[in-house]
Amino acid sequence: MKPHVVAVNISEKKGTIKHPVPEISLKIDEGILGDAHAGNWHRQISLLAQESIDKMTALGVKGLTPGIFAENITTANIELFSLPVGTRLQVGETELEVTQIGKECHHHCQIYREIGMCVMPAEGIFAKVIVEGTLRAGDEIRILS
């Protein structure tokens, strides 16, 4: 199966779990309209693979839904954390550039406190908007460079 978007997620407030929405609008120098982390910086959009979430489910963590790791885009069939910084991705009608792999967790999330680990710091990636547009679950993902 081709790489694709499983869910698109936003949160209106920083420090809260993101929730799936029908679609998101991406803007250059902004990120996702209506998301708490929008702004002109290098971590406009976060992505995490469903396969990474499934690893946590296999460890016994219950109730993992898209957005629970604060990712904006939940993907499938693409190993995000192996993409080098600078990689361009066509996601539906949009284009993203990978700007960071993983991130340090300063305040451990509920999942980390529960089982002593979390996938987002190692396997989540961050990107900025290169070509704006609208994204929805089911949109195809292609590696451009």
Pairing type for strands 23-27 and 94-101 reads unpaired
pLDDT band per the 50, 70, 90 thresholds, residue 20: very high
Q: What ranges make up the beta strands (E) of 42-124? A: 45-49, 73-76, 88-91, 94-101
> How much is the pLDDT for 72?
95
- As a whole number, mean pLDDT of residues 43-67 equals 90
Nearest to 126 by CA among 65, 71, 76: 71
Phi-psi region for residue 29, left (φ > 0), alpha (ψ -120 to 50) or beta?
left
**Are the beta carbons of 82 and 52 closer than 8 angstroms?**
no
Q: Quote the pTM value.
A: 0.90
More confident: 39 or 111: 39
